[in-house]
Structure 1
Amino acid sequence: MDRVWLFYAIQIAASGYAFLRGGAPERLTALALLLAAASTGMVQRDTPVLFAGLEVGVMIIDLILLAVMITITLHADRFWPAWVTALHALGTGAHLARAISPDVIRLVYAVLSAVWSYPIVLLLVIGTVRHSQRIRARGWDLDWSHQDPTTR
């Protein structure tokens, strides 16, 4: 359980940084990741044995987060959300694998659904750093693809 609290600390720190220094895509992603982590923690709190079967609650949260990340990816004037979306899709795919084949080993299911969270948080930090660098270098940075650069 210590690794869960460590992840929460990393997630909160990365999200805090994104809220302070990021643009709209970074802040929305940070909020979505925080809400997903908190929701997952609440769903799993009452489960006596985790990943023994299909984690329906976690799967629903992951699918909602995937939809949010796809939306951000399609509209953001950034490339890093595509990587976040792809990694999260891999984690969400673990639920599909478990649903198709209940024989998937419990540990494999648990690791495949969660291991992508760490690089996702790292990508959020990298995206925020890059946004800050662009702001410092040119004084502005578009948040959304459809945004008019003359209205910054």
Structure 2
Amino acid sequence: MFYAIQLAASGYAILRGGAPERLTGLALLLAAASTGIVQRHVSLLFSGLELGVMIVDLVLLAVMVAITLKADRFWPAWATALHALGTGAHLARAISPDVIRLVYAFLSAAWSYPIVLLLVIGTVRHSRRIRARGWDLDWSRQDPTIR
């Protein structure tokens, strides 16, 4: 179910969003696909530190931080903060292997849905600004006369 939602949201962002929405949509889509590839056997999921998933999450976090720092938008900061919380679940598991398997799974994945929602909201708002004024800055300190 999540993959279908992610694919729809990312597709919408890629088709209708500005550069921050397109890049975030692509990054989220690639991260979701990569996570599916690196996850261990289903019966073993989250029974230990999910190293492959943690690496995917750390790479995605770096990409999202870069987008947040450059984008002329506020929503990427919220999405990055939520993803940082999910990535922190790996740290909690690494520090304390006694973290309950279900808690680890929930904490690392639960933030994905609000992040996708923020991407959709950001894309809708970008589209509205384009319709209202004919342009929308993608990156901070960008000259609005250059499109």
Normalising to structure 2: TM-score of the pair?
A: 0.97
Determine which of 115, 118, 134 is the counterpart of 1:139: 134
Partner of 2:37: 42
In 2, the alpha carbon distance for the partners of 1:128 and 1:87 equals: 18
Q: CA deviation at 1:48?
A: 4.2
Partner of 2:117: 122
Partner of 2:143: 148
The alignment covers a number of residue pairs equal to: 147
Q: CA deviation at 1:148?
A: 1.1
Normalising to structure 1: TM-score of the pair?
A: 0.94
In 1, the alpha carbon distance for the partners of 2:4 and 2:40 equals: 18
Unaligned 5+ segments in structure 2 are: none
Partner of 2:50: 55
Unaligned 5+ segments in structure 1 are: 1-5
Q: CA RMSD in A?
A: 0.9
Partner of 1:15: 10
Partner of 2:93: 98
Could you list the structure 1 runs, at least 4 aligned residues long, displaced by more than 2 angstroms after superposition.
Answer: 45-48
Post-superposition CA distance 1:92-135 (Å, at most 9, x none) = 00000000100000000000000000000000000000000000
| Aligned residue type for 2:48 | G
Partner of 1:3: none
In 2, the alpha carbon distance for the partners of 1:16 and 1:58 equals: 23
Give the share of equivalent positions with the same residue, in percent: 85
